[in-house]
């Protein structure tokens, strides 16, 4: 395995780090040879991913259901219809999963799975309820001001389903929305064995009370949620992970609807010192790399510690189910960076602004205080990223590609909209009128000025 090694003392280090960060950006202009051939088969010309998304979203926006079904057939090979009745991709099943099918999946599900879902749902609820915004009222002379929060009416959730099922993504998106008070949740998952035909995923949807589930994926599914098609009312916001085409489609529809983020590959930065067991580090890196694509960046100031971690990684990679995929991700997106000291590790991490930051050092909390930009921070050797991915309470939908410099992880508060309420009596208006008069006059907006002064006589 050839994983990138960078020593920040080298003259070329800054350029190497910049190239690494560029790889993590969802620019939409990189496609494999197989992807190019597939694009030629479907569109008859070598379109970039961004051009593919523009074409698909434009047609779904203009033509509605017919375009959605057409692209589901072309891209996913799905033979379903708007209202078919089968339960496999070959039976002509319907676009919306019937409630009876969701219920049957839950009835036949592994009891251990449902027990875990219930415990995790409670963990998420407790955390999200604790951070939920509430209306604030400020009394003023002769009046009051309020900042009022209300839930979005209807939201859409994207759940991946290409290479593996992701019931955890249902938990980490739907439960925060429910805590916020969202009443209508439409969930889309691709019409694949790991997507909307996966019994565990359907069982989790039913258990959580998410009963509006559609067999659609990719850019065509995002466009259907954003613009609405026959049988699928449009939503107000779209959240959840997906591949490059889903990310670019969310970018395309933003403004028609709100979105959570434009996500790139899943990523982690792991900071280590002599207290970090190499075996732990190996699995911390593999856990992100097995997403494929997934970026794992190891940072430390003790070269022997880094070498031991890489050696453990090479020994363990063949022992995980998705080892080959993890290998490919580590070679494409991984890096081991030797820094001069802990201070430089913190500065570099802030520059990277990773989705996940695992500080696996003896003084983890002290280092965390020096880092501002990360989606979620995991402290110490007993807090792997999997704690946040699956069970703890904060959503695992986090900012990627350096956007943690300005963006935050998904929470219940992202499903609220807010407005300000102002109320004053005549005395309250009189208190504010002198400042209104001065500023409106300076701006030449005399009607603004007079709208206040006329009330005071």
Give catalytic residues, as residue numbers: 355-356
DSSP 159: -
CA 419 to chain centre: 25
Q: How buried is residue 344: exposed, middle or buried, by Cβ count under 10 Å (0-12/13-18/19+)?
A: middle
Spatial CA neighbour of 204 closest among 162, 242, 161, 246: 161
Task: Report DSSP letters for 341-391, one per residue.
Answer: SHHHHHHHHHHH--SEEEEESTTHHHHHTT----SEEEESTT--HHHHHHT
Q: How buried is residue 257: exposed, middle or buried, by Cβ count under 10 Å (0-12/13-18/19+)?
A: buried
402 touches 21 (CB < 8 A): yes
Spatial CA neighbour of 273 closest among 345, 352, 369: 345
Spatial CA neighbour of 229 closest among 387, 50, 36, 60: 60
Task: Please name the residue that has the structure tokens 């979105």.
Answer: 259
Q: Which residues contact 439 (CB under 8 A, 6 or more apart)?
A: none
Q: Where are the alpha helices (DSSP H) in 160-294?
A: 167-180, 199-208, 218-227, 244-253, 278-289
Q: Are strands 356-360 and 4-7 parallel, antiparallel or unpaired?
A: unpaired
Write phi, then psi, for 446 (nearest 5 degrees).
-70, -25
Is residue 63 helix, strand or coil?
helix
74 touches 272 (CB < 8 A): no
């Amino acid at each position: 395995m050839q994983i990138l090694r960078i020593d920040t003392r080298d003259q070329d280090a800054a350029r190497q780090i910049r190239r690494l960060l560029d790889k993590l950006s969802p620019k939409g202009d990189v496609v494999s040879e197989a992807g190019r051939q597939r694009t030629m088969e479907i569109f008859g010309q070598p379109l970039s991913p961004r051009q593919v998304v523009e074409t698909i979203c434009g047609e779904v926006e203009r033509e509605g259901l017919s375009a959605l079904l057409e692209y589901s057939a072309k891209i996913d090979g799905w033979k379903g219809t708007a209202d078919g009745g089968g339960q496999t991709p070959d039976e002509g099943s319907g676009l919306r999963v019937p409630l009876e099918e969701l219920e049957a999946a839950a009835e036949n599900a592994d009891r251990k799975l449902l027990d875990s879902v219930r415990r995790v749902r409670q963990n998420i609820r407790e955390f999200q309820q604790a951070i939920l915004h509430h209306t604030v009222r400020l009394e003023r002379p002769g009046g009051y001001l309020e900042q009022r929060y209300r839930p979005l009416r209807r939201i859409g959730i994207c759940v991946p389903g290409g290479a593996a099922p992701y019931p955890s993504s249902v938990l980490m998106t739907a439960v925060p929305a429910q805590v916020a008070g969202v009443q209508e949740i439409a969930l889309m998952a691709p019409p694949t064995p790991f997507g909307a035909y996966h019994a565990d995923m359907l069982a989790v949807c039913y258990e959580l009370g998410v009963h509006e589930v559609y067999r659609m994926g990719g850019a065509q599914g995002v466009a259907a949620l954003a613009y609405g098609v026959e049988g699928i009312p449009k939503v107000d916001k779209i959240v959840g992970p997906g591949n490059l085409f889903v990310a670019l489609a969310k970018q395309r529809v933003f403004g028609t609807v709100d979105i959570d983020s434009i996500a790139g590959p899943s990523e982690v930065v792991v900071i280590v010192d002599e207290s970090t067991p190499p075996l732990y580090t190996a699995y911390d890196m593999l856990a992100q790399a097995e997403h494929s694509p997934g970026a794992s960046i190891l940072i430390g100031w003790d070269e022997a510690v880094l070498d031991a971690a890489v050696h453990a990684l090479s020994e363990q990679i063949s022992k995980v189910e998705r080892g080959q995929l993890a290998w490919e991700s580590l070679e494409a997106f991984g890096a081991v960076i030797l820094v001069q000291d802990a201070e430089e590790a913190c500065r570099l991490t802030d520059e990277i602004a990773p989705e996940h930051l695992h500080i696996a050092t003896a003084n983890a909390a002290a280092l965390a205080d020096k880092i501002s930009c990360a989606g979620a921070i995991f402290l110490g050797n007993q807090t792997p990223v999997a704690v946040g991915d699956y069970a703890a309470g904060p959503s695992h939908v986090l900012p990627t590609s350096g956007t943690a410099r300005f963006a935050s992880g998904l929470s219940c508060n992202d499903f609220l909209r807010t407005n300000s309420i102002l109320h004053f009596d005549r005395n309250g208006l009189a208190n504010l009128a002198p400042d209104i008069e001065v500023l409106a006059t300076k701006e030449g907006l005399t009607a603004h000025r007079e709208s206040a002064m006329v009330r005071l006589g």
